[in-house]
Amino acid sequence: MTGLVPGVDEAAGNAIPTAARAERTDAALIPFWPLRLDEGWQCLSTPAGACASPTQWPKSGWLDAIVPGTVAAAWRAAGRLDPDHLPPFAFDDHWYRLSLTGDGPRRLRLHGLATLTEVWLDGEKRLESDSMFVAHDLDIELHGTVTLALCFRSLAPALAARRTRARWRPRLASPATLRNVRTTLLGHMPGWCPPLQAVGPWRPVELLGGGPCSFDTVDLRTELDGDDGLVHLTLTFVQPQNSSSPASLSCSDTRAPLVWQDPRTLTGTLRVPHAPRWWPHTHGTPTLHTVTLELDGEHACELGRVGFRTLEVDRGSDDEGFALRINGTPVFCRGACWTSADLATLAGTDAQLSHAFALARDAGMNMLRVGGTMVYESDAFYALADAYGILVWQDFAFANFDYPSDADFIASVTREATQFLARTCRFASLAVLCGGSEIDQQAAMFGLPPAMRAHPWFTEQLPAIVAAQRPDVPYVAHSPGGGVWPFSTRTGITHYYGVGAYQRPLEDVRRANVRFAAECLAFANVPDDATLHDATGTIHVHDPRWKAAVPRDPGAGWDFDDVRDHYLRTLYGVDPAQLRYADPSRYLDLSRAVVAELMIDTFAEWRSAHSTCGGALVWQFQDLRAGAGWGLVDALGRPKSTWHALAAVLQPVQVVITDEGLNGLDLHVINDTAKTLHGQLDLVCLRDGAVQVASGSCAVQLAPRSRQRIEAATCLGQFFDFTYAYRFGPQAHDVTIVTLRDAKTGEVWSEAFHLPDRQVHERHDLGLTARPERTASGWQLIVETRRFSRFVHIADQNYRAVRDWFHLAPHRPLAIPLVARDPLNANDTTPAPEGEVRAINARATIFYR
């Protein structure tokens, strides 16, 4: 079932003004969708088994409840949720109740119930569910007012039940018997996320019927036939219709008749001649087309928006790689692994989701991965992915465990997978379907040979379901997967933590020969001071709350603070422990800078012309709690230094630098767009950040969707020891700056920097200045320096700098837009900018107002 919701597509469309919208028909738009039962709910928590039925409910203790939502969301709204002392929601019972009024037959649709659930109607149990990921229909008869009750039972009995013995027991989630229960691992992963367990009606509850034209299911699919787009529709009604009534489908000024297969079912195909393609935003326009159903020539209903695209996997010349081709064009997939916009609701608001997708787009990301440890996301999520031009790598909800293979389990997950694919069949952004996360890897690391690791669900049954439901989307059994070891970095799909958890040097990025990293580069990324203060009330790294928020792998003798500290020591030449004790503020700034530097250098290698890497997704997009988590975006939705670093290296038009040792520097120019670009490369080497010791320029023509390598020596025309590899005397320079600009207008498209020595012992008077300036759209900050400024950071009391944690070349004023620090709560009373500018090689902080 599709379970589309009115208003979702319209909201997503308004967020993206460039997305194509079809003309409305002359027919009057009328609502056909189900009635959302969002208001009037109450919930109550009791000890497990305290109430066998609604007749035993306590009279007091009920809270107003948010549906769709969870018990945690209701407690938070009531001011009862203490984030430092979270209740074990999954091990109590929880009741929800709502009064329904009507007359006649209805269909109750429950899109997601977490997790062991009973559905009661006026004291009679009508349904039981044991999967969080399965939707249920319940046909009921209304004669006045009835009470709908949902009881979410404790997981304890299901977790204690005996089933087949697992061949391995991962440490990721606790207890190990979660393998038997179809619920998210969020809330059950010590060291990864808070123990906030998912309980409640986390997906919409709807009432169908009550009108002559109520839809039951909408199956809307697209494909390309040459240059033409085909839209296929199968639509069913809850109640029989007049099958002699004319019906048609329209899209992009094209209309086609629909055929009644029976009084409840309409089918048909519409051809859109020369249909514009849907592209990821980095490579083109994510064009969408509104599809409208017309009945009787008088009434119409928008069914949603669709895109036309082709998608295929490129395994490379050796047949061991993994990359995507969209509309026949190779696409380097870059982005992050999604967590949740709001751990309490497991969905987030439309505004939160739109904000997250805007951040992903602005950083140059074109893919998000929904991993097997998370949940299947809402329709709004996939609609926004379509509208923003963000590809979605979708794991099915399996991770790490040795899952059962008995008939009941397979029947349940078959229903789960089939429903998910039917619900998302119209979304063009869905790009990869994956059986699950780190399952084959766990088995291999426990020593099982390939024949014993194979599970028919992932290798036979699930791929058959995908082939039938979404033949346009490639399926991979596991992530990671490929090669003798499924986690091999140079074959297929890997999870790359060489630079990161395994504390390998930066040279390992090239040595590993990563073909596609579905996860990579996990660090304890430090938020800005504003978030540390607003969310935790402290910025002190010795506070116990700091360590509580630092991610760690269960059983490991280290955490991800230790990983970051390793690179502070090896790249920047500082003693983290001593610096943390003597100057905690500088420790935090260097911690933010070093992870940004690691991101830039790693992605520069993977995007370079000599790389065979097809994509890389950082672990993770957003923190699940306040603190130094894995997220590129903090728990309040604010970008961290790593987000800004990626925004500097992931853009569609880009120059990056790779250090080639004795061969000097290679400059890699990238053009992901569909246009031929005529550019100019300017190169300058500075001593003491100000004195020019070498410079040169060269013209460059960037073919559409291409990349090329240019030796730095070509721009210079003579020998210069860019990398200080030959060491003929003292080091002649401390930074090389490469600028890619429009050859005609001089507009700067991209900049890249190389430092032959990254150590940070010296600090100078940089001549750094900053002044706020009002513009027609708000405020901007003009920043300028007389000497190369390294990792400039803007900390404003009222605003967030759109560009931050950047290198600044001397005598090049930079205008940086300022936006409200919390855009979801912004208003017209925000005061003028006031703050400070810091750089990690600056002797002093610069203040402005």
The answer, yes or no, to whether the previous bond of 654 is cis (omega within 30 of 0) is: no
458 DSSP 8-state letter: I
Predicted TM-score of the model (pTM): 0.95
For residue 629 the two structure tokens come to 């988590």
Which amino acid is residue 181, in one-letter code? V
Domain ranges across the chain: 8-32+213-306, 35-208, 311-647, 653-754, 769-848
* Terminal Cα-to-Cα distance of the chain (whole angstroms): 56
Asked if domains 8-32+213-306 and 769-848 share a fold, the reply is yes
Pick the closest to residue 39 from 210, 207, 214, 238 (CA basis): 207
Q: State the Cα–Cα distance between residues 400 and 436, nearest whole angstrom.
A: 8
- Contact by Cβ (8 Å): 463, 424: no
Q: What element of type H or E holds 709?
A: strand 706-711
Place of tokens 């849907």: 278
Distances 519 to 143, 214, 368, 656 between C-alpha atoms, Å = 54, 43, 11, 22
The label of the residue with tokens 């009531």 reads 78
| Amino acid 401: pLDDT | 96
pLDDT of residue 17: 29
Is domain 769-848 annotated with CATH 1.20.970.10?
Answer: no
- Phi/psi for 585 (5° steps) reads -65, -40
d(CA 310, CA 111): 30
* DSSP-assigned letters across all residues of 80-102: ---TTS---GGGSEEEEEEEEEE
Sign of CA dihedral 575, 576, 582, 588: positive
Contacts of 189 (CB under 8 A, 6+ apart): 172, 173, 174, 373
Phi/psi at 227 (5° precision): -90, -5
Q: Which of 27, 9, 665, 497 is nearest to 298 (CA)?
A: 27
Q: Which residues of the chain have pLDDT under 50?
A: 1-26
User: How far, in Å, CA of 200 to CA of 211, rounded?
Assistant: 29
What pLDDT shows up at residue 15? 32
| Pairing relationship of beta strands 391-395 and 430-434 according to DSSP bridges | parallel
The DSSP 8-state label assigned to residue 533 in this structure reads H
Region for 181 from its dihedrals, namely left if φ exceeds 0, alpha if ψ lies in -120 to 50, beta otherwise: beta
Closest CA to 603 of 472, 496, 728: 496
Query: Alpha-carbon distance 669 to 603, whole Å?
Result: 13
Query: Which residues neighbour 377 within 8 Å (Cβ) at sequence distance 6 or greater?
Result: 338, 347, 370
Angle between helices 8-15 and 350-362 (to 10 degrees): 40
Count, residues in the chain? 849
Residue 346 neighbours by CB distance under 10 Å = 28
Report helix, strand or coil for 566.
helix
Q: What CATH number is given for 653-754 in this structure?
A: 2.60.40.10
Give per-residue burial for 353-384: e unless 16+ CB within 10 Å, then b.
Answer: bbbbbebbbebbbbbbbbbbbbbbbbbbbbbb
Phi, psi (degrees; rounded to nearest 5) at 483: 85, 175
Look up residue 811 and give its two tokens: 């005598």
For the domain made up of 311-647, give the CATH fold. TIM Barrel (3.20.20)
Query: What's the pLDDT at 283?
Result: 98
Residue in 123, 99, 124, 127 with CA at minimum distance from that of residue 113: 127
35-208 topology per CATH: Jelly Rolls (2.60.120)
Of 396, 421, 434, 401, nearest to 516 (Cα)? Answer: 434
**Concatenated DSSP letters for 752-821?**
EEE-S-------B----EEEEEEETTEEEEEEE-SS-EEEEEEEESSEEESS-SEEE-TT--EEEEEEES
Residue 106 belongs to what H/E stretch? Answer: strand 93-110
d(CA 106, CA 211): 10
Are the CB atoms for 429 and 326 separated by under 8 Å? no
pLDDT given for residue 533 in this prediction: 87
d(CA 774, CA 772): 7
Contact present, 657 and 578 (Cβ < 8 Å): no
CATH number corresponding to 8-32+213-306: 2.60.40.10
pLDDT number for residue 21: 32
DSSP string over 575-623: -HHHHHHH-HHHHHHHHHHHHHHHHHHHHHHHHSTT----EEEES-SB-
- Find out whether 277 and 286 touch, Cβ atoms under 8 Å: no
* CA–CA distance, 457 with 637 (Å, rounded to integer): 37
Q: What is the pLDDT of residue 824?
A: 59
For 313, 322, 395, 496, the CA distances from 316, given in Å and listed in that order, are 9, 7, 23, 19
How many Å apart are CA 596 and CA 639, to the nearest integer?
12
Query: Residue written as tokens 């009508």?
Result: 126
CB contact at 8 A, 326 and 359 = no
- What is 329-392 written as a DSSP string? EEE-EEEEEE--S-TTTSS--HHHHHHHHHHHHHTT--EEEE-TTS-PPPHHHHHHHHHHT-EE
600-621 b/e (C-beta count within 10 Å ≥ 16 → b): bbbbbbbbbbebbbbbbbbbbb
Tokens of 515: 């073909």
Q: Are 518 and 480 in contact (CB under 8 A)?
A: yes
